[in-house]
Amino acid sequence: MDRAESMDRLLERFKKSFLSQMIGGTPLLMAHPDELREMIVYLKEKMGYPLLLDITAIDNLLSAHPPASRFEIVYLFRESEFGYVIGVKCPVSDAQEGVESIIDLYGAADWLEREVWDQYGIAFRGHPMLKRILNHEEFVGHPLRKDYEITKGQYCTKTQDLQDEMKPLLEARGLDEERDHLMILNLGPSHPASHGTIRTLVALDGEKIVAGAGEIGYLHRGFEKSCENHTYNQIIPYTDRLNYCSALMNNIAFAKTVEEMIGIELPERGVYIRVLLAELSRVIDHLVCLAAGLLDMGGQTNYWYLFNPRNDAYDFLSKLTGARLTNSYMRIGGMAYDLYEGWESDLDAVLGKVDKGVAESLQMIEHNRIFQDRLLGVSPVSAQKAIDFGFTGPNLRASGVPYDMRFAAPYYHYDTFDFDMVVGSVGDTYDRLMVRFEEILQSLKIIRQVIKRMPDGAVCVADHAVTLPPKSSVYTSIEGMMNQFKLIYEGVKVPKGEYYGAFEAANGELGFYIVSDGSGTPYKVKVRAPSFVHMAAYPKIIEGYQVGDAILTLGSLNIIAGEMDR
Amino acid sequence: MDVSGGHLLGDSVITTKIDAVINWGREASLWPFVFGTACCAIEFMATAASRYDISRFGAEVLRFSPRHADLLVVAGTVSYKQAPILKQIYDQMPEPKWVIAVGACASSGGFYDNYTTLQGIDEIVPVDIYVAGCPPRPEAILDAIIGIQKQLKKEPTLQLRSNLEFKGKLDG
Ligand code: SF4
């Protein structure tokens, strides 16, 4: 049965709902509240949508033509071949009453629903632990509601003890803290191995973890609310700071999404520069992940070997963009400026150094008994589980699932490059790290092809309703001046509607769900952050392993707090 | 020169000020606790790695327990949720102690002027040196460490450093 046919069947079955479209044609099912849950069951079981990408809500309080209900809830799913996305949208007439939870259908829904509750105050009936996740427990109100003022901060005076989560976990396992002599250990949020701001509470039987609960939100920086207050180009610096280990990639993913909404295509040279920088960012991201992960297990030499070539890559980037880490080099419709003269030889030197660093590091660990004994078989995630958790990127591929957007839904000519998809077998900590090692080499291969193929020409679209006109015309012509003025003050105008754009980022599928009201500022932006769902799974997959293993597992998942907490 | 017969200086006595001797030691043995939360922490990692080599300034003994540290390096955004933890860590550090706010976020909230971000850590703990940048380059972080070294040389050692007048937003 093809896609259109099965869609017809669905619509036949759910008579109160109807089919709509996002910008660009992605199907959007407008579900009637009575049919919402059944429709999602149908999507999963009959139509083959096993991957829940995201859940979010829209507050229509300030829209020009508000629909009957103030809130709408939006679900995004990806099908089993991974090439297609479908959205489901449903009005929520009473936020307190909310909608039914789908946690029993999709594991990933657990934290995603909590976030919607926290940010919008929409309840989920049947969710076992519906509490705040990004904001602190003393917070009053729901910040992403349009009537919550952006600058209204609220002090937090104490940290929650998480016993409300731990107790039911222990009960469910038939355990008792006193009787079974368990020890409750708090890891983080300020802990050398917690990679920033992650907190995990574990119950230990000896060294073995018998239950774990995670807490996040310590680096929640209000990305999504800030987006609603800035023009599209002003948002680019904020995207840098999502996954700050590969800032450029976030720039590119965001700019690409907005460009797709407007319906513009970059000139070839612009596209190739983006591929080049995206792959270089992937390399840097993986280098940091591996360097830190190996440092956690005592392999400090690897830290030097892997971190130093990364520094060389930063030298290249700072020469190109002016900044080492937070580059903000992309613009809607192109980039700030072209490559500098002599970039090829600089970049070539960097690639050589990365090659060498990776080779040296691999030499030390590949046949190293300690490395293997500590990683093999630790916290394996089966393919099915990984999809249920909502894993994407290297973590999903480590589990043997061949999903890489560069293959499943190629963009930017990825289908014309010669490179391999890297897939693991059992999804243990070993696989997660080794997949990254190999991906670095594959990315280098792509970059070398890009260097050879780099075409001449412009890097930005010539439409000055989108990109800034050259300064000479701003100073000498009224038209140029108006273009500049309008772009700076009002921002790039994006057609009214909604859109979900996705990108194969270093950590997995990085998506932006954007709702535009036609102005130069988005009405709403939601980031589909791979680290968020990876972290949600973490307390579950460390169960049964030792504390020392859990530290390495955290490193291998490469949780980046900026992206997770936004 | 034959030094086998004992110390070069023999029984001679050097007179100096106790402050000078102690501060000479303190200056070259700062033990940082890195409260790294975000992007700035990644640049701190670079500062500690071999290219920028923080050990040239005697500050490479990174401690992960506040009880062992005398220099608090806050690198990254601190949210309201994180603030009580920052305060607890500062309170746990023994005297004398110094604080560096690395980057725009730690110094002022940076460009996160919103409902979740603390508008500068000096609302919670006293700060000795602020480092500009988003993130600052590793050289700037090193410069701040040198700044602390210069500053502490001028301080009387036998006096409590704690700024007792400081009243943070979370001080009861
Ligand atoms: S100052 Fe800039 S680089 Fe540093 S934590 Fe804040 S946003 Fe990140």
Number of domains in chain A: 2
**Which of B39, B77, B80 is opposite residue A154, by nearest beta carbon?**
B80
User: Predicted ipTM?
Assistant: 0.85
Tokens of B119: 């508008």
Which residue matches tokens 């589990």? A399
3-state secondary structure of A212: strand
Band of residue B157 on the pLDDT scale cut at 50, 70, 90: confident
Domain boundary among A72, A105, A125: A125
A158 with B84: Cβ contact below 8 A:
yes
Q: What is the pLDDT of residue A450?
A: 93
* Distant-in-sequence, close-in-space partners of B158: CB < 8 Å, separation ≥ 6: B18, B19
If one residue of A241, A243, A327, A565 were mutated to test the ligand 1 pocket, choosing by the most ligand atoms within 8 A of its CB, it would be A241
Contact A150 B114 (CB under 8 A): yes
> Of A125, A155, A186, which closes a domain?
A125
pTM attached to this predicted model: 0.89
Q: Are residues A118 and A262 in the same domain?
A: no
**Which pLDDT does position A82 carry in this prediction?**
82
Element (H, E) at A56: strand A51-59
Q: What angle do CA A485, A229, A248 make, to 5 degrees?
A: 80
Cβ pairs A/B, distance under 8 A = 127
| Residue-level pLDDT at A189 | 84
Contact residues, A window 163-182, toward B, CB-based 8 Å cutoff: none
* Residue A211 domain-assigned (yes or no): no
pLDDT given at position B169: 80
Is residue B3 over pLDDT 60?
no
Average pLDDT, whole number, for chain A?
89
Q: Are residues A417 and A311 in the same domain?
A: yes
Q: What count of Cα atoms within 13 Å lies in the side-chain half-sphere of residue A274?
A: 31
pLDDT (average), residues B67-94: 91
Give burial (CB, 10 Å; 0-12/13-18/19+) of A369.
Answer: exposed
Residue A225 banded pLDDT, cuts 50, 70, 90: very high
The CATH class for the domain spanning B18-154 reads: alpha beta
pLDDT value for B162: 64
The per-residue pLDDT for A256 is: 93
Report pLDDT for A118: 92
Is the pLDDT score of A1 beyond 80? no
- Residue B4, pLDDT > 90, answer no
Chain A stretch 186-215, residues whose beta carbon is closer than 8 A to a beta carbon of chain B: 189-192, 196-197
Measured between beta carbons, which residues in chain B are less than 8 angstroms from residue A234? none
Q: What is the pLDDT of residue A120?
A: 92
> Residue B138: is its pLDDT beyond 70?
yes
Residue B6 confidence (pLDDT) = 62
CB-based contact A565:B78 (threshold 8 Å): no
Alpha helices in A477-546 (DSSP H): 478-490, 530-541
We report the CATH number of the domain holding residue A283 as: 1.10.645.10
Q: Is A90 helix (H, G, I), strand (E, B) or coil?
A: strand
CA distance B127 to B168: 11
Whichever domain contains A93, its CATH number is 3.30.460.80
Per-residue model confidence (pLDDT) at position B108 = 92
Determine the pLDDT at residue A510: 93
Q: Is the predicted pLDDT of residue A262 greater than 70, yes or no?
A: yes
Q: Which two tokens stand for residue A339?
A: 């490559």
Q: How far is Cα A79 from Cα A18, in angstroms, rounded to an integer?
A: 20
Q: What is the pLDDT of residues A418-437, one digit of tens each?
A: 999 999 999 899 999 999 99
Note the pLDDT of residue A54.
92
Pocket of ligand 1 (CB under 6 A): A 241, 326; B 38-40, 76-77, 103-105, 110, 134-135
Give the pLDDT of residue A399: 92
Report the candidate in B91, B172, B118, B115 with the shortest Cα–Cα distance to residue A143.
Answer: B115
Best mutation target among B79, B113, B141 (most A Cβ atoms within 10 Å) is: B79
**3-state secondary structure (DSSP) of residue A214:** strand
Rounded to whole angstroms, the Cα distance separating A371 from A355 reads: 21
With an 8 Å Cβ cutoff, the interface of chain B facing chain A consists of 35-39, 41-43, 45-46, 49-51, 64, 76-77, 79-85, 89, 111-119, 134-135, 137, 169-170
**Do both A395 and A539 map to the same domain?**
yes
Average pLDDT over residues A173-189: 85
pLDDT on residue B72 = 93
Would you say residue A408 has pLDDT above 60? Answer: yes
Q: Is residue A138 part of a domain?
A: no
pLDDT for residue B2 is more than 90: no
Where does a domain end: A125, A159, A191?
A125
Model pLDDT, residue A526: 93
By C-alpha distance, which of B109, B117, B129, B102 is closest to B35? B102
pLDDT band at A395 (very low <50, low <70, confident <90, very high): very high
Distance between CA atoms of A237 and A221, rounded to whole angstroms?
Answer: 13
Q: How far does the centroid of ligand 1 lie from the alpha carbon of residue A457, in Å? A: 35
What is the span of the domain harbouring residue A353? Answer: 223-565
Q: What is the pLDDT of residues A466-511, one digit of tens each?
A: 888 888 888 988 888 888 888 888 889 899 999 999 999 999 999 9
A241/B39 touch (CB, cutoff 8 Å), yes or no? yes
Q: Residue A306: which of A79, A555, A550 has the closest Cα?
A: A555
pLDDT, chain B, mean:
86
**Inter-residue contact A491 to A523 (CB < 8 Å):** no
DSSP string, A146-199: TTS-TT-----------HHHHHHHHHHTT--TTTTT-EEEEE-SS-TTSTTT-E
Would you say residue A460 has pLDDT above 60?
A: yes
B17-35 average pLDDT score: 88
